[in-house]
Structure 1
Amino acid sequence: MNVKILADSACDLGEESVKQYDIDILSLTVQLDDQNFEDGKTISAKTVYDAMRNGKAPKTSQVSPQTFKDVFTKYAEQNQPCIYPAFSSELSGTYQAAKLMEQEVKEAYPDWQFEIIDTKGASLGLGLVVLRAAKMAQEGKDFSSILEMSKYHAEHMEHIFTVDDLEYLYRGGRVSKTAAFVGTLLKIKPLLHMEDGKLIPLEKIRGSKKVFKRMLEVMEERGVDLRTQPIGISHGDDLETATLVSDMIKETFHNDDIHIEMVGSSIGAHAGPGTIAIFFLNHPYK
């Protein structure tokens, strides 16, 4: 029996990839206009971005414990081996909720082969880990090989990103109100990265063109095998800019293996419209 790959909606993988590799997606919750929605199922990222542009402030919450319990129990009953690369524990309670339900389900099904990985990743940084695991599962690779490779990709995945408006990060507690105000006033574009699963400011750059050029410089400084490894680009409802960045990467690194996806509503609710992120490995691709 092939290994089944589970993921949460924070991986931001598109419907085509999810169907092609038979990935089971568990949705985080998005709260908008006093209603709860399932990320990617009952609400679209586009709806969330349009609401934010109109001044609304959607909120998000982790995958519900009951959802985890139902899905885990279903696969445990089938004795289906599963691996779940999860959204960073530093950005959501999703990982902790999953671990609690894993413990509960394994009390009833102690022989069930199942592992949860705290990837310390988000968006396509998480999505590329999930995708690699799902491809290996489809090829019939064994449980331990997929688990080992997933941990390797999670450990070495770089997240480099910028946002269009610091106000959204301020609302989420990522920057101070003063920094948000000054940044907007001076047209400063923040460059951020992920460090041990947390969002960390890297540099402040004036102007969009300069920030995208700097993102590619950081890729060159940190990345390896940039001509051959899959590279992810996610965007906050700004495909035009994501395509521009993709063209810059192709021209600079001669790499056509680039995955572009929209940042989903659970992450987009905090990063906001206009976010651009690049994901790549800092150790040799396997």
Structure 2
Amino acid sequence: MKTAIVTDSTAYLPQEVRERLGIRMIPLSVIFGEEAYREEVDITADEFFAKVKQHPTLPTTSQPAVGEFVDLFTALREEGYDAVISIHLSSGISGTYQGAVTAGAMVDGLRVYAYDTEISCMAQGFYAIEAAEMARAGRTPEDIIARLDEIKQTLRAYFMVDDLSHLQRGGRLTGAQAFIGGLLQIKPLLRFENKVIMPFEKIRTRKKAMKRIEELFAKDAEKGVPLKAAVIHANQPDEAHRWRDELSARYPHVEFLISYFGPVIATHAGEGAIGLTWYQP
């Protein structure tokens, strides 16, 4: 069986990785006024952050139309694929996963397995990479889905934002009431829980928030088992590289990547967000 791997742009996989592994990408969009830009296609993360500074109002975001999924799945069928595993950001913050489910039922002659990672960014990217490597090795869709479910058991991700107001305004933060009083003074740690973004701990400074993420990471890293990890940042490349280098020196058995919050997720997280995700490969 020939299986294709699809993910959406919020995995923020570099183009060379997608090309090397044959991962197809369907983009979400950011909308400034009347202009829509498909992230990773029409607008890069750097261009997005520059544009936000010039624009009086925050952009909005939109998921791919069902028709875009239908077109992609149809093209894959025509290329001779028997199955597609379509891996997406959490259904709790976007309708993208449901769009893949709907489109999959509309394309005959192709088995479409939509997969809800219940998360986003490079954490989602880890799922897509493993799935693509397994597909290239000739593994069945059922084997691949079983492995993705396995990843879900060890995958962790924590992040902090500089300003909670973006997440609130976009309706992407759940359980925020406890944080409202100290909105300007705190750097809360956030995580995905039951498919939505939830406050994890209230922390006063950026430095302490990053230290707390390190402590959470150490609980797994100090077991000595192999891990893959990614530092994810919103327009903070120097800080991200510095943090990666420090962690890498401390945990040489962990493979570290640097990734980023691209336009769609950064619309909600805001510039300055930073986080760490990891799992057991």
TM-score between the two structures when normalised by the length of structure 1:
0.88
Match of 2:264 among 266, 269, 278: 266
After TM superposition, give the deviation of residue 28 of structure 1 in Å. 0.6
After TM superposition, give the deviation of residue 89 of structure 1 in Å. 0.5
- Deviation track 1:87-121 (CA, whole Å, cap 9, x = no partner) reads 1100101111111111111xx32xx2331111111
CA contact (8 A) 2:4 2:23 kept: yes
**Cα distance 1:178–1:145, how it changes in 2: closer, same or farther (>3 A)?**
closer
CA contact (8 A) 1:82 1:114 kept: yes
> Match of 1:68?
69
State how far apart, in whole Å, the 1-side matches of 2:257 and 2:28 are.
Answer: 22
- Deviation track 1:26-58 (CA, whole Å, cap 9, x = no partner) reads 001210132111111011122222233445301
After TM superposition, give the deviation of residue 251 of structure 1 in Å. 3.2
State how far apart, in whole Å, the 2-side matches of 1:41 and 1:130 are.
Answer: 19
After TM superposition, give the deviation of residue 258 of structure 1 in Å. 0.9
After TM superposition, give the deviation of residue 8 of structure 1 in Å. 0.4
After TM superposition, give the deviation of residue 167 of structure 1 in Å. 2.5
CA contact (8 A) 2:7 2:23 kept: yes
> Match of 1:241?
239
**Cα distance 1:276–1:51, how it changes in 2: closer, same or farther (>3 A)?**
same
> Match of 2:230?
232
CA contact (8 A) 1:13 1:124 kept: yes
Structure 1: which 5+ residue stretches go unaligned?
none
Match of 1:94 among 93, 96, 107: 96
Mapping of residues 125-164 of structure 1, within 5 Å: 125-164=123-162
State how far apart, in whole Å, the 2-side matches of 1:34 and 1:181 are.
Answer: 35
Question: What fraction of aligned residue pairs are identical, expressed as a percent?
Answer: 27
**Cα distance 1:206–1:33, how it changes in 2: closer, same or farther (>3 A)?**
same
**Cα distance 1:178–1:197, how it changes in 2: closer, same or farther (>3 A)?**
closer
> Match of 1:85?
87
Deviates more, 1:157-166 or 1:73-82: 73-82
> Match of 1:182?
182
- Structure 1 segments of 4 or more deviating over 6 A? none
Look up the equivalent residue of 2:113 and give its one-letter code. E
State how far apart, in whole Å, the 2-side matches of 1:35 and 1:48 are.
Answer: 13
State how far apart, in whole Å, the 1-side matches of 2:234 and 2:181 are.
Answer: 21
**Cα distance 1:64–1:138, how it changes in 2: closer, same or farther (>3 A)?**
same
Look up the equivalent residue of 2:209 and give its one-letter code. V
After TM superposition, give the deviation of residue 73 of structure 1 in Å. 1.2
State how far apart, in whole Å, the 2-side matches of 1:223 and 1:84 are.
Answer: 30
After TM superposition, give the deviation of residue 21 of structure 1 in Å. 1.1
Deviates more, 1:90-99 or 1:46-55: 46-55
CA contact (8 A) 1:249 1:255 kept: no
State how far apart, in whole Å, the 2-side matches of 1:84 and 1:262 are.
Answer: 21
After TM superposition, give the deviation of residue 209 of structure 1 in Å. 1.5
CA contact (8 A) 1:68 1:98 kept: yes
Look up the equivalent residue of 1:266 and give its one-letter code. V
Mapping of residues 152-231 of structure 1, within 5 Å: 152-173=150-171, 174=173, 179=179, 182-184=182-184, 186=185, 188-221=186-219, 228-231=226-229
Deviates more, 1:85-94 or 1:42-51: 42-51
> Match of 1:47?
47
**Cα distance 1:252–1:60, how it changes in 2: closer, same or farther (>3 A)?**
same
RMSD over aligned Cα, in angstroms?
2.2
**Cα distance 1:142–1:133, how it changes in 2: closer, same or farther (>3 A)?**
same
- Deviation track 1:146-167 (CA, whole Å, cap 9, x = no partner) reads 2211222135421200012223
CA contact (8 A) 2:88 2:115 kept: yes
TM-score between the two structures when normalised by the length of structure 2:
0.90
> Match of 2:26?
26
